[in-house]
Structures are given as C-alpha cells and as structure tokens.
Chains A and B, each alone.
Chain A
C-alpha cells in the first residue's frame, strides 16, 4: 500500500438507500474505539476489494465532525463508470469489513471568512453536509445554494432545509429553476468566501463568473474529484524500476503501476492533491489529461502526468517511476 495516510480498519455498520441513485454507507471502527476527528470538507479513500481487483475511490465525509462514533459517505451510482460505485451499491452490506484512509482535507473552510457562500450541484452536496454542521455548531455565517435535477434526486435537501431553514435555497432543473448567479455573487458582503462542489461544468461556470465579477482567486474554493475514465489499453515503461506494464481498459495508470509493485504516494486518487505527479521521460502519442492539479502549460508540455486519472494513447510512454 502507498505512503499517503494511515489506514483505518472499519466495519460497515449500516447501508441506507437515499433515493434511486444514491446510497449512504456508515462505518465504525472494528476495535470499537472512536474514529479520528475531522474537519468539514475532508474525504477518505475507500479500498474496495472486488475479487482479485482493488479499487480506491475518494468520498467526502458527510457526517458531523462533532460525532466520531461513525463516518458516513454517500455514493451516487454511476452505471457508465469503472465499477467502483456499482461495487459499493451491489456488494457492500452491513457487517462487511473494509479499510479506509485517515481523513484528508483538500477542501477546507477558510475560517477567516465573514460569510461562507456554498454552491452545490447534485452529489456535490456531501462535503457541505459536514461543513454546515461544523459552522452551525460554531455559530458560523453561511448560506447554501443547491441545484438538483428533480426534487426526488435532491439528496438530503429535506434534511438541510429542516436543519437550516432559509439559509438553504433549492433549485430544481426539471422546474426550470436557475441560480441568478451574477446577482448572488454581486450582493455578498466583503470578506465572503465562495465554495463550489458539483459537476465540472458547474464549477467552471461559477469560477468564471466569480473571476469576471471581481472575486479574487483566494476567495474561491472548489473541489471536484475526477473519476478515472476507462479507455483503450496502453503500454508504459517505468524507467526507475525497470518494468514494462500494460494499463487495462478498466484500470487507471496508477492502479497498473501499483499492481506492478511500485507505490507512488497519493492522498485523493482524483487528480486534486498532486501527490502522485509523475515526470514523463519520453512519449510518442497523445495524453488524455483529466486532473485539476497540473497547469495547462504542464498539460501542453507533455512532461508530466497524474497517473490517478489521466491516460495515454499512442506508440510509447516512458515514466520516471
């Protein structure tokens, strides 16, 4: 296993279907002790042992950071993905023993903020569940705007409205309800920080409008774990360890490197934390970059790759691993 974080041995204590796409999973420690305290916005990496295959996916912790008897995550079923969410939905039952990482926070609240303005899209609501619990307990000033496809897919919308009343605003796509984003962004008091979690298109839209309306980048926080995409198999030479490996259709490059017995560090496996950044020694072909870590310049240069989420198509690829 890799070097990023300490592992926790847990048991699935409950599995709760939330709606037609989302299921919630509860974990407790196998030794009965309390879990480590965490901060709103933190995620854990869940190890899924599926036959002889292991997938490691990051999920935001959505419980209250004040309650460390159990951790809860919510998983949206993705029928077209590489099977991690399907494994969780189909195979994970109460009583199953699993391994998760210690919590890591790459989407932390800026506690200097005079106000926290949160924008969620779909399953992007999960980190805000924990952040709102944390802020409400400390008397923090926040406002949450949550867009979902339909009322029945508005995961936890009812819970949030019950907890926080009109501090939570809902927007339903099927009712043609849209955030008046420019107006919202222009009416916030000085010292507000903005947090966005949701589909990539939404994050880009919000970031662009915020920049155009004069929000400095330090005040705009976003998190989007990319999921590794399936693709055509390709061969890679690992120059440092002297190995040649094949990346399967449903495998990520990082997983293939790990299968060969080489363990790059990682914290998120979603193209955000930067830990597994790898230098390219030579290449003949096309990179398919999916990460949020490298700059556009890095992407164009072809000198670096994030093996957790990015792939390659072409004749040859040699990495410094």
Chain B
C-alpha cells in the first residue's frame, strides 16, 4: 500500500536471523520465499534448531524449497485453523530463547501473532515479513463479526450486512482491521465498491 496510512497500521519488515536457542517459523504461500531469502543470510547450522510450519495453499508450491533448508522439523498444514492446536502446544511447552518468524499474508501473520501474544511473547520481538495477497481480515465494529479475505473498499460485513469502510486502524489483539459503517448518517448514500486490497 503506497497510500498514506496511519500509525496503528502494522509495518512488516524483512526476516533476519535472531540470536536464540530455537527458531519457529510460520508461513503461508509466498511467505516461504521470505524464509528461503533469509536462509542466505543465516549462519551455518541455523536451521538445525528450527521448526517450520507451512501452509502452502491451493497452488501447493515451495515445499521442496523449504525441505532443502533441512530444518529440524517441517510441518505442512492445510490451513491456519488446522495448525493452531499444534502451535498452541508448541508455545505452551517452549522456553525463553525461542524466536518467532512469521511470513506471508497479513491474515496469517496477524493470527499467528495473536497466539504468540497469548503465550507471553511481546509483539516487538517477533520477526515478520509480508508476502502475497493484501486481502484483509476485518472486524465489524458494530456486530463484532470477522470477515476474512476482504478485497474491496467499502466491504460488506458477512455477518450483519452493513456496508463498511475498511480503515487502516488495526488491532493486534483481534488480528483485524476495523470496519465502520460508511453510510450511517444517510443510508441512501451508497459509494461504489472498488477492489483495492489484492
């Protein structure tokens, strides 16, 4: 997004190897490329203590590239929901010295960070890199329902049906952008829907 944004909008960086005893990676789709790019800068033996959890998505690409890094563990999951119980268990049993790396879509980064925050990891210590789709997870401020993969501005709430302005205001706790009724003052005003989060 080149457009002017606000401070609560998350800023993603470029993965870089951190000092630590264990390294846990969570990535989806093109996020795998952020890991393989980082691997070129990593010290020898870095992946001996690393676990990679990867959600390849429909295209199913990049698995071989991750295997080639020879991580201590590589786990392929069909979706984030299916990965979550395993992730929670890993974090519950983890020790200080574990470093977390998240790469891929904003939805994945946000939801994995949500699990990490609950486990006591501070968000500032998590390495993130955005790759792939710009589709947003959006919370409707009115009915509290979350709509996944929002690509348009404005967008319809999939729960209550209000037409929402998708703001840049972002909550880490909810892993979602805020959606606020765009025509609350006059429901007859219906702005055109444009596809802008691709």
Contact = CB atoms under 8 A, between A and B. Distances in A.
Nearest to A194: B96
Contact of A218 (B22, B92, B119, B124): B124
B19 interface: yes
Size class of the contact patch on chain A: 20 to 34
B20 A191 contact: no
Contacts of A218: 122, 124-125
Contact of A212 (B19, B121, B124): B19
A211 B125 CA distance: 12
A215 B120 contact: no
A214 B50 CA distance: 14
Contact of A192 (B18, B21, B96, B124): B96
Nearest to A114: B120
Contact of B96 (A112, A189, A212, A217): A189
B115 to A, nearest CB: 12
A219 B120 CA distance: 10
B135 interface: no
**Chain A contact surface mostly:** loop
Contacts of B87: none
Interface string B116-156: 00011110110000000000000000000000000000000
A190 B91 contact: yes
Nearest to B98: A190
A223 B89 CA distance: 35
A213 interface: yes
Contact of A213 (B19, B94, B120, B124): B19
Nearest to A188: B96
A256 B187 CA distance: 69
A214 B19 contact: yes
B120 A191 contact: yes
Interface in A200-228: 211-219
B90 to A, nearest CB: 10
Interface residues of B, number: 19
Interface in A122-173: none
Interface string B28-50: 00000000000000000000000
A214 B127 CA distance: 13
B21 A190 contact: no
A113 interface: yes
A214 B97 contact: yes
B4 interface: no
Contacts of B92: 190
Contacts of A185: 96-97
A112 B22 CA distance: 23
A279 to B, nearest CB: 28
B19 A219 contact: no
Contact of A214 (B96, B119, B122, B124): B96
Contacts of A214: 18-22, 96-99
Interface string B153-170: 000000000000000000
Q: Which of B20, B97, B98, B125 neighbours the largest number of chain A CB atoms within 10 Å of its CB? A: B97
B124 A216 contact: yes
A219 B122 CA distance: 8
A186 interface: yes
A249 B93 CA distance: 56
Nearest to A215: B96
Contacts of B122: 216, 218-219
Nearest to B122: A218
A196 to B, nearest CB: 14
10 contacts: A190-B91, A190-B92, A192-B96, A213-B21, A214-B22, A214-B97, A215-B97, A216-B125, A217-B125, A219-B125
Listed from nearest, the 3 A-B pairs whose CB atoms lie closest are A191-B120, A214-B20, A216-B125
Interface of A: 112-114, 185-192, 211-219
